[in-house]
A and B are shown apart, each in its own frame.
Chain A
Amino acid sequence: DQQVKQNSPSLSVQEGRISILNCDYTNSMFDYFLWYKKYPAEGPTFLISISSIKDKNEDGRFTVFLNKSAKHLSLHIVPSQPGDSAVYFCAASGDGTSYGKLTFGQGTILTVHP
């Protein structure tokens, strides 16, 4: 039972254009969502997050949008740069404990071409 899904395994974008990565979830208990970025042979690094009480959060070139009614979130990267090429994971939390368990999606490989 995949509670967090990233249905696009890969995305290819030209440098300077917008990258949009999508994520869907099924568990309505989730109240906090995160995006992580992972380069090969490295651990994931935190990118940006959003609480369920918001519908948008911005940090520089990165913006995350949350549509609670559709159980959908997206990460926008504008403008995209070759250094953004990595695997992007969305994750969700909110099981009511303080353990901070995250449920991850399958990941989307982003390739930004110069």
Chain B
Amino acid sequence: DVKVTQSSRYLVKRTGEKVFLECVQDMDHENMFWYRQDPGLGLRLIYFSYDVKMKEKGDIPEGYSVSREKKERFSLILESASTNQTSMYLCASSAPSRFSTDTQYFGPGTRLTVL
């Protein structure tokens, strides 16, 4: 059974703190993604990675960085958390396909609140 896990379901941090969100997948997928979900805005891609140590910016990378040291693990880092980064963060993974037909599998999400 496909599994993507995220380190925390709920997280409360203070403005200016450095925040780490961890994601692990057990499907041996090459592609991993970080999204944030906000009401009325849908899912917006922050960063993605197509291989170990490789990363690409998504649509809203400002204020975030990522790390992929192992194939199964993809970390999202908020260097200095701000209140506008309060959101639901979703991690996903997929296998590579030249036909772009591979489904992304999502973790349960981390609800981050920045005070």
Contacts and interface: CB of A to CB of B under 8 A. Distances in A.
B9 interface: yes
B107 A43 contact: yes
A46 B96 contact: no
B102 to A, nearest CB: 5
Contacts of B31: 99-100
B45 A101 contact: yes
A100 B90 contact: no
A43 to B, nearest CB: 3
Interface string B90-109: 10101111111111111111
A96 B100 CA distance: 7
Most buried by A among B4, B43, B96, B101: B43
Category for how many chain B residues contact A: 20 to 34
Interface of A: 4, 6, 9, 31-32, 34, 36, 41-46, 49, 51, 89, 91, 93-107
Contact of A100 (B42, B102, B107, B108): B102
B97 A49 contact: no
Nearest to A99: B50
B40 A106 contact: yes
A41 B48 contact: no
B44 to A, nearest CB: 8
20 contacts: A9-B40, A32-B101, A34-B103, A36-B106, A41-B111, A42-B109, A43-B90, A44-B106, A45-B106, A49-B101, A49-B103, A89-B43, A93-B100, A97-B100, A98-B98, A99-B56, A100-B96, A101-B33, A104-B35, A104-B43
B92 to A, nearest CB: 8
A100 B109 contact: no
